[in-house]
Amino acid sequence: MRLSQSVPQSNASTVKQSIQSVTKTQVFKNPCEEEFGKEWAFFSPDGSAYKGTWLKALRHGYGVHVYPNGDVYKGEFKANLPHGQGCFYSRNPKQTSESKKQILQFPENEAALTLIYEGQWEKGYRQGFGRFYYSPVSFYCGYWHSNMKHGYGILFYSPETERSSVLTAAQQQQQTHVVVSHGVSTIKSSRYEFGPIFIGQFQEDSRAGEGRVIYPNGDVFVGIFDANAAQGQGVLYFVEKHSRQLSNYALGQSVCSQIFTDYSYIDYETILQAWAHICGGFPTLSYDVYQSLHEKFPCDWEAKFQPDEHAYPYSFRAENNPKAAQIIIETDSVEVMCRNLPVKMRPDQNEAAKMLHLPVEDDGKTVPVNMLVDPVGVLAEQIAK
């Protein structure tokens, strides 16, 4: 007696197709296999390893390369070098060249690997558009040439960055260095969850040409940079205080300046245009308000950037004041917009308040400017914190 019957041919074919479809979804498929043939793994005597496609005994097409110290590159290759789109991951702790390397198909899921760069490569160099991460809260996105920042780009500084150093060359290296003394960090924690943002041009890894800085409290600087520091004439907008400081800069330091307490349409437009930049808008704006400002105040730099709402930290911002947001979206008046923004521009201050409310850069060491106008309110705010 037979305990099972043979499967009909039609059903057998269906089962075989189902198994094949499940297998295909579970197995990593190299996107270049069809063009360059089957991928192969190779372990080199120098401690490196590679799994991917080849052409004439050279890495070519797409693959994962593990370096002797354990760092990983995943992406496109040409003539044995990273070329095209790819990601570079740094391993911590590093491995020795003698240790056996594991070729990971998904290095982004490995806890010991940290994404350092994702973007375009040419002949082994970072070239084209890409993002370089100095720390989880500090990164550069923009254009590269021969491994150096070159062209239009944006620097996202860490929250610990001192405001006074952003216009100087002191922030050339963006890594967050925490100095520990007797077990306690000597870096004062920032009251903001984000740091300043620089939007502008770079030349051979340094800021050069027209640039804008957005500070965490909403203030905006517009000026010219040379050798990574502000040089020549620049304007610093103290937004909430509704004043602007016109200065001449040398190596990022203001050598002479004038204070003005009036804003023109151009001033409002400059601030809103900076806040609404496609890659580095002001973080406290809700997404709907950001989109509205972006449409009303387009920036000619935007054509130089690749919009990717998932790649920037301010893409999904919640609305804290729906009524104010609706007013901003519906109006075309820059003054009405500014009066309803999260950081209020206050054109209606009286002359006495303007005199007392002189802009002082908040470097965390000076007395709050509001202390001159509202000492009780400032003290109450400090106690509440």
Sequence-distant (≥ 6) Cβ neighbours of residue 75 within 8 angstroms: 62, 82, 84, 85, 86, 87, 121
Residues 197 and 188: beta-carbon distance below 8 Å: no
Least confident of 30-39, 85-94, 156-165, 262-271: 30-39
- Confidence at residue 276, expressed as pLDDT on a 0 to 100 scale: 85
Determine the Cα angle at 169 with ends 166 and 171, to 5°. Answer: 55
Residue 11 banded pLDDT, cuts 50, 70, 90: very low
Q: Work out the pLDDT band at 353, boundaries 50, 70, 90.
A: low
User: Has residue 131 got a pLDDT over 60?
Assistant: yes
Buried b / exposed e over 180-203, threshold 16 CB at 10 Å, is eeeeeeeeeebeeebbbbbbbbbb
Give the pLDDT of residue 76.
96
What pLDDT is attached to residue 176?
A: 40
Residue 45: pLDDT over 70: yes
Structure confidence at residue 277 (pLDDT) = 83
Q: Which of 20-34, 87-101, 102-116, 163-177 has the lowest mean pLDDT?
A: 20-34
For residues 121 and 178, is the Cβ–Cβ distance under 8 A?
A: no
Reported for 364-372, long-range contacts at CB under 8 A and 24+ positions apart, including other chains, are 364/162, 364/163, 364/188, 369/241
Place of tokens 């491995």: 95
Res 317: pLDDT: 63
3-state class (DSSP) for residue 200: strand
- pLDDT tens digits for 282-340? 877 887 888 888 888 887 766 666 656 556 655 556 667 888 889 999 999 888 888 88
**Letter string b/e over residues 105-120, b meaning 16 or more CB atoms within 10 A of that residue's CB:** eebeeeeebbbebbbb
pLDDT of residue 181: 38
- Nearest CA-CA partner of 216 in 265, 132, 280: 280
Give the confidence band of 80 by pLDDT, cuts at 50, 70, 90. Answer: very high
CB atoms within 10 A of CB 237: 24
Task: Tell me the pLDDT tens digit for each residue of 168-196.
Answer: 987 554 444 333 333 443 444 456 777 89
Q: What is the pLDDT of residue 306?
A: 64
Q: Among 49-53, 91-95, 98-102, where is mean pLDDT lowest?
A: 98-102
**What would the mean pLDDT of 233-250 be, rounded to a whole number?**
92
Within 121-234, residue ranges assigned H as helices are none
Q: Which two tokens stand for residue 148?
A: 């150096």
Task: Pick the more confident residue, 162 or 184.
Answer: 162
The position carrying tokens 């804008």 is: 212
Model confidence at 33, pLDDT cuts 50, 70, 90, reads low
Largest Cα–Cα distance of the chain, in whole Å? 106
Helix (H, G, I), strand (E, B) or coil at 125: strand
pLDDT of residue 146: 95
The predicted structure's pLDDT at residue 213: 94
Query: What pLDDT score does 385 carry?
Result: 56
Percent of the residues in the chain that have a pLDDT greater than 90, as a whole number: 39
Q: Is the pLDDT of residue 359 over 50?
A: no
For residue 245, is pLDDT > 60? yes
Residue with the larger pLDDT of the pair 124 and 189: 124
Answer whether residue 370 shows pLDDT above 60.
no
Confidence at residue 116, expressed as pLDDT on a 0 to 100 scale: 94
Cβ(142)–Cβ(200) below 8 Å? no
Judged against a pLDDT cut of 70, whether residue 139 lies above it is answered with: yes
**Model pLDDT, residue 17:** 43
- Residue 377: per-residue pLDDT: 55
Whole-angstrom Cα distance, residue 68 to residue 51? Answer: 14
